[in-house]
Amino acid sequence: MTTPLAIETQALTKQYPGVRAIDGLDLAVPTGAICALIGRNGAGKTTAMRTLFGMIRPTSGRATVLGLPVEDRHAAVAIRRRAAFVDPAALYPWMTVRELLRLARTCNADWDRAREAAGLAVLDLPLARRVSALSRGMRVKLALLIALARNAELFLFDEPTEGLDPVVRRQVLHALVAANATRGATLLVSSHQLAELEEIANWLCLMDRGRLVLAGDMDDIRATHHRVDAAWPAQCPATLAAASGVVSARINGAFATLIVAGDAHMALSGLGATIQDIRPATLAEIVLAHVGREHDEAEWVSTGAADALA
């Protein structure tokens, strides 16, 4: 039996004048997963998340969230009832914490007062203070408390731990994992904090230039990606980077550091290489291998464009 999908998109595209923010995105996030949505700045992560939440209208393609089509106006309301988009910067700055909680309580029929009370006791939020006077960490805690007390089935987080101190960051991550573990909520977390995501996520979606370049179970992806240090008797073959299974290759004369997907030995068997070291790739190495575009940057530097700009 296959796990039902909390989020599914098919050929989802968002075209702005002069730029395609999402380009045929095919996303599939299973229910109950903690999905890390990763990509470079401008990869289309935020656009994708906002499209899923009905804030941005897609140019083409289709998307369903919790089995409901986001394009449908009434289905979008049902999605917003069952899902939470957590953005600490979006909280009304002119409201006090108490007023904001009251508003959220009255707007959400499934509000869990017990969870709100428990959260307030743990998170130490000043009820009488205006949101504009809260620190970044406090705002994140408040946004998180509202999302958790709403009893949402799906949480969309855009950079939840950016700019937080280690203690608050730990609290936030703990709350996210607890929501997933105790209630089976699905989490879609967009962040550049790869070490954190590696720690909590069990599903990976890697985006680049509006497209999905890698997706799947985090353990499977890590198990199939290896970092390989290889050497050749003379020069590395010119076709190395294009070899089957080789995701990226950093070449230095007769030596190369490769990120290989699948069986590394098989990938390098026909290339005459001596494997010096092989180990599982970290998430950061996998991400860099898929979206790093080191060649582009090296080419840019070598053409003298940087000097010209300087």
Partner 1 sequence: MLWRKHWLQLRWLTLAGAVLLTVIAWITVDGQRSASFASDVAEIATALPGTVTRYTVPSPFTRYLEAHALGGPLQALLIGLALCIGVGGPGFERSGTTAVFTLSLPYTRRRLVLGRFLAAATVIALLSIFVVLLIAALAAFEGQGAEFPFAEALAIGVCLASGAIAVLSLSFLLANVTGNTIATLASAIVILIVVSMVVGAAYDRWWRTPNIWLQVAAPFDYMRLMGAKDFTATSRLPWPRIGAALALSGALAVATVAWVERQDF
* Separation CA 76–CA 274 (nearest Å): 56
Query: For partner 1, which residue of 15, 69, 95, 255 counts as binding (CB under 8 A)?
Result: 95
Q: Which stretch binds partner 1 (CB under 8 A): 79-87, 232-240, 256-264, 293-301?
A: 79-87
Nearer to partner 1, 5 or 152 (CB): 152
- Does 70 bind partner 1 (CB under 8 A)? Our answer is no
Beta-carbon contacts of 101 under 8 Å, excluding residues fewer than 6 positions away, are 116, 127, 142, 145, 146, 149
Q: How many residues bind partner 1 (CB under 8 A)?
A: 29
- Does 54 bind partner 1 (CB under 8 A)? Our answer is yes
Nearer to partner 1, 146 or 286 (CB): 146
- Residues 221 to 280: which contact partner 1 by CB under 8 A? none
- Does 203 bind partner 1 (CB under 8 A)? Our answer is no
- Does 62 bind partner 1 (CB under 8 A)? Our answer is no
Beta-carbon contacts of 120 under 8 Å, excluding residues fewer than 6 positions away, are 127, 145
Q: Which stretch binds partner 1 (CB under 8 A): 77-85, 191-199, 211-219, 264-272?
A: 77-85
- Does 73 bind partner 1 (CB under 8 A)? Our answer is yes
* Separation CA 109–CA 150 (nearest Å): 8
Nearer to partner 1, 146 or 283 (CB): 146
Query: For partner 1, which residue of 8, 23, 87, 208 counts as binding (CB under 8 A)?
Result: 87
Q: Which tokens is 21 given?
A: 């923010």
Nearer to partner 1, 143 or 230 (CB): 143
* Separation CA 268–CA 228 (nearest Å): 10
Q: How many CB atoms lie within 10 A of CB 49?
A: 21
Query: For partner 1, which residue of 19, 89, 223, 266 counts as binding (CB under 8 A)?
Result: 89
> Cβ-count burial of 205 within 10 angstroms (0-12 exposed, 13-18 middle, 19+ buried)?
buried
- Does 80 bind partner 1 (CB under 8 A)? Our answer is yes
* Separation CA 189–CA 179 (nearest Å): 13
Nearer to partner 1, 107 or 181 (CB): 107
Q: Inter-axis angle of helices 97-107 and 113-123, to 10 degrees?
A: 160
Secondary element (H or E) of residue 85: strand 83-86
Q: Locate tokens 């395609």: which residue?
A: 20
For partner 1, what does the binding mask look like between residues 99 and 118, x meaning CB under 8 A? x--xx--xxx----------
CA 3 to chain centre: 20
- Does 53 bind partner 1 (CB under 8 A)? Our answer is yes
Beta-carbon contacts of 33 under 8 Å, excluding residues fewer than 6 positions away, are 6, 186, 187, 202, 203
Nearer to partner 1, 53 or 203 (CB): 53
Q: What is the amino acid identity at position 288?
A: L
Tell me which residues touch partner 1 (CB under 8 A): 50, 53-57, 73-74, 76-78, 80-81, 84-85, 87, 89-95, 99, 102-103, 106-108
